[in-house]
């Protein structure tokens, strides 16, 4: 795991300010503390910050050159089948000077061009410069695990593992209002768009190449979602499909234990991480596991369940007890780590967990992706109900949960009524609108009422339509809902959170549920193997029925939330709300209506705040980002 950035003159003219590459490298140096390297040649400047995990020798430092010096590569990620690929390439006469997976990528590309990326089993963001032919290519892994931002300005390409690398290299800082409007609803910005106008994330499974006319173009090289277009024969959730699933998950874990440095795993006490740890402990006795305890808020404390699992699998276990004061103390650092607005408050816990885990290991396995792959969220059960029992929401309407839903969502009762009201609201919508409804924390109309009439949203309707087009084309397939979650929620929220919070402490996270073979297999499974009204992850539960205790297999999904309502009405009010929601700040910003912001704050302070705490938090994160990256520029 590393960080990379670069500058390329698209017209092959000498770089006017090659020293900017050093500014970009400093901005992402936290991603790779083991070595930093820079390569500048006429019209290309590359920089790399290395976290050494495979081949710890200096020879594997980057930028890394081919044996004959004709090509150079910078790479972020891990390739799990690199030894197999190296053996194949050696049989064809290619020579290697390191034991790294990076050199395997370089040699494979020199032999096969862009087709080489499809044969890489792992996660990566890579840039290769062929010095002989003076050509280059940039690629991102098919699951989209590793980030890669880019933009073009004045005939130049800038790219980086994080937005802050681009900003440090001096790109223009024009806020993308269409992206920010999506953010207000979702709490994150859906890829490939970003908070800065003209900056994109390279799409998963795509290459970026010069188009021959002084610009760039994206080319798809692999789409795991569509390469297996059939459906496996349906039947009881048992037998060969369950065995195959267990086999693939076991192999995915085994691959992700490949490391020349100590490895461990996040163990939340939930089903996904429990299955991962069950496989890891089978392969490596004494495997290290880590979990968060939150005794001040027992509703979100999963540490007793994690400790039960650790005893069962004989792992070397560490429970990291969090206190509210710990989270409040690191809040400025967490907000500063995100160079785009990002409103998932559980990032605070992941930041603290990563900080403590990094004191023991460099690599940590996680259960990320299991919910999106196998239908683990409450919204998936709600979607099943609406599809299978279309009259169900109408039968509940006389009960009308709207008034009860206005209570505090951070209480167990308030959250229940909130979810029931969302079910009623979504039940009358068509499939695409309902998906956006399930995904949003703030309705589109409510977000719109916050904006000044002068704010123009030209691209937003088209972007939203593009994102939802697959479900409009195939509204009756429950699998399409899960596929959209992997494209929108996983890419925009879960993987961003895991990458930024772990790399803030130079910790590499590996996610077995995002293994290419497992993704392809699950894509062929009928939806009935994944979710019904009572449960999600049906095939996962069946696969580990005789491995995990019933208390883990059939627990309700818990999740982690910080006490936003208490914070925003307490310790965060004076230093944050009074500053960033003051009329003067709002007027200078020129985006929001001061009266609309005041109304939302009044609702937050009331005894029936509903979703106001979450909505104010999302707004607050945007305001802090604006102050740091836009107003201060």
Higher pLDDT, 215 or 401: 215
- Give a yes or no: residue 185 inside a domain: no
Contact 179, 187 (CB under 8 A): no
**Residue at which a domain ends, from 222, 256, 278:** 222
- Of 527, 559, 591, the one marking the end of a domain is 559
| Cα within 13 Å of Cα(535), Cβ side | 14
Query: Same structural domain for residues 340 and 450?
Result: yes
CA–CA distance, 148 with 504 (Å, rounded to integer): 16
Q: What is the pLDDT of residue 414?
A: 57
In a domain, 286, yes or no: yes
**Per-residue pLDDT band at 395 (split at 50, 70, 90):** low
Q: What is the pLDDT of residues 6-57, one digit of tens each?
A: 999 999 999 999 999 999 999 999 999 999 999 999 999 999 999 998 888 8
In degrees and rounded to multiples of 5, residue 587 shows phi and psi of -65, -40
- SS3 per residue for 406-459: HCCCCCHHHHHHHHHHHHHHHHCCCHHHHHHHHHCCCCHHHHHHHECCCCCCCC
The residue that leads in pLDDT, 403 or 286, is 286
Nearest to 120 by CA among 97, 98, 146, 96: 146
Average pLDDT over residues 250-278: 95
In the chain, the largest separation of any two C-alpha atoms, in whole Å, equals 76
In a domain, 183, yes or no: no
- Taking all residues of the chain, what is their mean pLDDT, rounded to a whole number? 91
Confidence label for 399 from pLDDT (cuts 50, 70 and 90): low
The string of DSSP codes covering 512-572 is GGG-HHHHHHHHHS-GGGTB-SS-B-HHHHHHTTTTS-HHHHTPPP------HHHHHTTTT
Contacts of 44 (CB under 8 A, 6+ apart): 6, 7, 8, 9, 15, 129, 136
DSSP 8-state class, residue 222:
-
Q: Look up tokens 């996680």; give the residue.
A: 366
> What CATH number did the domain enclosing 402 receive?
3.40.50.620
Is the residue at 206 inside a domain?
Answer: yes
Q: Look at residue 18 and tell me if it is in a domain.
A: yes
pLDDT of 398 higher than 50: no
Q: How many domains does the chain have?
A: 3
Look up residue 398 and give its two tokens: 């006389």
Element (H, E) at 382: helix 378-388
Task: Report the pLDDT averaged over residues 368-374.
Answer: 96
| pLDDT higher at 386 or 197 | 197
Express each pLDDT in 93-107 by its tens digit. Answer: 998 999 999 999 999
> Could you tell me which of 549, 37, 587, 479 has the C-alpha nearest to residue 226?
479
Burial class, 547, CB count within 10 angstroms (exposed 0-12 / middle 13-18 / buried 19+): middle
* Residue owning tokens 């992402």: 28
- Cα gap 379→261, rounded to integer Å: 39
Average pLDDT over residues 528-542: 91
Query: What digits encode the pLDDT tens for the residues 584-632?
Result: 999 999 999 999 999 999 999 998 898 999 999 999 999 999 999 999 8
Residue 445: inside a domain: yes
pLDDT at 461 over 80: yes
Asked whether residue 330 is domain-assigned, the answer is yes
Q: pLDDT band at residue 226, thresholds of 50, 70 and 90?
A: confident
Judge if 13 and 152 occupy the same domain: yes
Residue 258 and residue 144 share a domain: no
User: Quick one: average pLDDT of 548-574?
Assistant: 88
Order across the sheet with 71-79: list the strands. 64-65, 71-79, 122-130, 135-140, 206-210, 216-220
Q: Mark whether 535 and 606 lie in a shared domain.
A: no
Domain holding 104, by residue range, is: 2-175+196-222
The last residue of a domain, from among 504, 537, 559: 559
Q: Are residues 214 and 240 in the same domain?
A: no
**pLDDT, position 33:** 93
The answer, yes or no, to whether residue 420 has pLDDT greater than 80, is no
Q: Do 555 and 593 sit in the same domain of this protein?
A: no
CB distance 450 to 597 below 8 Å: yes
The arithmetic mean of pLDDT across residues 534-550, rounded, is 94
Whether residues 202 and 329 share a domain: the answer is no
Judgement on whether residues 282 and 200 belong to the same structural domain of the protein: no
- Measured CA to CA, the distance from residue 307 to residue 476 in angstroms comes to 41
| Contact by Cβ (8 Å): 273, 265 | yes
Whole-angstrom distance, CA of residue 603 vs CA of residue 614 = 12
* Residue of 442, 455, 256, 477 whose CA lies nearest to 362: 256
Q: Over pLDDT 70: what percentage of the chain?
A: 93
Predicted confidence (pLDDT) at residue 188 exceeds the cutoff of 50:
yes
Residue 91: pLDDT band by 50, 70, 90 thresholds?
A: very high
Mean pLDDT of 537-547: 96
Contact 137, 208 (CB under 8 A): yes
Phi and psi angles of residue 69, each rounded to the nearest 5 degrees, phi first: 75, 10
Point out the least confidently predicted range of 71-80, 377-386, 398-407: 398-407
Q: Rounded mean pLDDT of 453-466?
A: 96
What is the per-residue pLDDT for 274? 97
Q: Are residues 382 and 364 in the same domain?
A: yes
Q: What is the pTM of this model?
A: 0.94
548 and 568 housed in the same domain: no
Residue 299 above 80 pLDDT? Answer: no
* Averaged pLDDT for residues 298-306: 85
Average pLDDT in the 386-395 region?
71
pLDDT for residue 279 is more than 50: yes
454 in the same domain as 395 = yes
State how far Cα 244 lies from the chain centre: 27
Domain contains 111: yes
| Average pLDDT of span 288-315 | 90
If DSSP codes are grouped into helix, strand and coil, which group holds residue 196? strand
189 band by pLDDT with thresholds 50, 70 and 90: very high
Continuous segment of H or E residues that includes residue 616 = helix 612-625
Do residues 146 and 124 make contact, with C-beta atoms less than 8 angstroms apart?
yes
pLDDT band at residue 445 under the 50/70/90 scheme: very high
Q: What torsion, rounded to 10 degrees, do the Cα atoms 88, 72, 193, 219 define? A: -50
Cis ω before 63 (30° cut-off from 0)? yes
Q: Compute the average pLDDT of residues 274-298.
A: 92
CATH number at residue 164: 3.60.20.10
pLDDT score at 397: 58
Residues 311 and 327 in one domain: yes
SS3 of residue 509 by DSSP: strand
Q: What share of the chain is helix, strand, coil (3-state, %, to 5)?
A: 50, 15, 35
Q: How far apart are CA 546 and CA 554, in angstroms?
A: 13
């Amino acid at each position: 795991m590393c960080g990379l950035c670069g500058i390329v003159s698209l017209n092959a003219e000498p770089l006017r300010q090659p020293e900017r590459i050093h500014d970009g490298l400093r901005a992402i140096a936290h991603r790779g503390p083991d070595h930093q390297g820079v390569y500048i040649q006429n019209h290309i400047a590359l920089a790399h910050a290395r976290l050494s995990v495979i081949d710890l020798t200096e020879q594997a430092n980057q930028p890394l050159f081919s044996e004959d010096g004709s090509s150079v590569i910078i790479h972020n990620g891990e390739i799990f089948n690199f030894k197999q690929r190296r053996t194949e390439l050696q049989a064809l006469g290619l020579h290697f000077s390191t034991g790294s997976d990076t050199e395997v990528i370089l040699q494979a590309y020199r032999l096969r061009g862009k087709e080489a990326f499809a044969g890489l089993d792992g996660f990566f963001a890579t840039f290769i410069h062929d010095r002989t032919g003076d050509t280059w290519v940039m690629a991102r892994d098919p699951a989209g695990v590793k980030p890669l931002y880019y933009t073009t300005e004045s005939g130049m390409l800038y790219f980086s593992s994080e937005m802050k690398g681009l900003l440090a290299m001096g790109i223009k800082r024009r806020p993308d209002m269409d992206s920010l409007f999506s953010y207000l609803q979702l709490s994150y910005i859906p890829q490939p768009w970003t908070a800065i106008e003209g900056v994109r994330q390279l799409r998963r499974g795509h290459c970026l190449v010069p188009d021959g006319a002084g610009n760039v173009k994206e080319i798809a090289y692999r789409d795991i979602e569509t390469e297996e277009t059939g459906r496996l024969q349906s039947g009881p959730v048992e037998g060969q499909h369950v065995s195959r699933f267990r086999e693939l998950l076991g192999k995915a874990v085994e691959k992700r234990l490949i490391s020349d440095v100590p490895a461990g795993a996040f163990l939340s006490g939930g089903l996904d991480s429990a299955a991962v740890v069950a496989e890891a402990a089978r392969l490596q006795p004494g495997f290290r596991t880590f979990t968060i305890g939150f005794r001040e808020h027992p509703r979100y404390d999963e540490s007793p369940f994690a400790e039960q699992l650790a005893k069962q699998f004989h792992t070397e276990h560490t429970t990291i007890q969090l206190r509210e004061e710990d989270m409040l103390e690191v809040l400025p650092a967490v907000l500063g780590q995100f160079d785009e607005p990002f409103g998932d408050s559980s990032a605070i816990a992941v930041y603290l967990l990563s900080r403590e885990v990094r004191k023991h290991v460099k690599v940590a396995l996680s259960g990320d992706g299991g919910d999106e792959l196998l239908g683990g969220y409450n919204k998936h059960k709600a979607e099943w109900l609406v599809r299978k029992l279309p009259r169900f929401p109408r039968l509940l309407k006389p009960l009308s949960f709207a008034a009860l839903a206005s209570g505090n969502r951070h209480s167990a009762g308030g959250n229940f009524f909130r979810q029931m009201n969302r079910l009623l609201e979504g039940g009358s919508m068509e499939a695409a609108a309902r998906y956006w409804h399930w995904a949003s924390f703030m309705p589109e109309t409510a977000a719109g009422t916050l904006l000044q009439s002068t704010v123009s949203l030209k691209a937003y309707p088209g972007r939203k339509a593009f994102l939802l087009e697959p479900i409009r084309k195939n509204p009756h397939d429950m699998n399409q809902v899960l596929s959209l979650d992997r494209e929108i929620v996983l890419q925009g929220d879960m993987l961003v959170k895991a990458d930024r919070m772990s790399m803030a402490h130079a910790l590499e996270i590996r996610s077995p549920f995002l293994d290419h073979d497992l993704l392809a297999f699950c894509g062929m499974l009928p939806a009935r193997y994944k979710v019904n009204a009572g449960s999600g992850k049906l095939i996962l539960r069946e696969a580990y029925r005789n491995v995990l205790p019933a208390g883990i297999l059939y627990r309700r999904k818990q999740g982690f939330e910080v006490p936003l309502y208490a914070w925003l009405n307490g310790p965060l009010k004076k230093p944050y709300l009074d500053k960033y929601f003051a009329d003067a700040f709002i007027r200078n910003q020129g985006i929001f209506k001061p009266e609309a912001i005041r109304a939302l704050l009044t609702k937050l302070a009331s005894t029936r705040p509903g979703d106001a705490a979450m909505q104010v938090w999302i707004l607050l994160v945007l305001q802090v980002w604006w102050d740091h990256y836009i107003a201060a520029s």
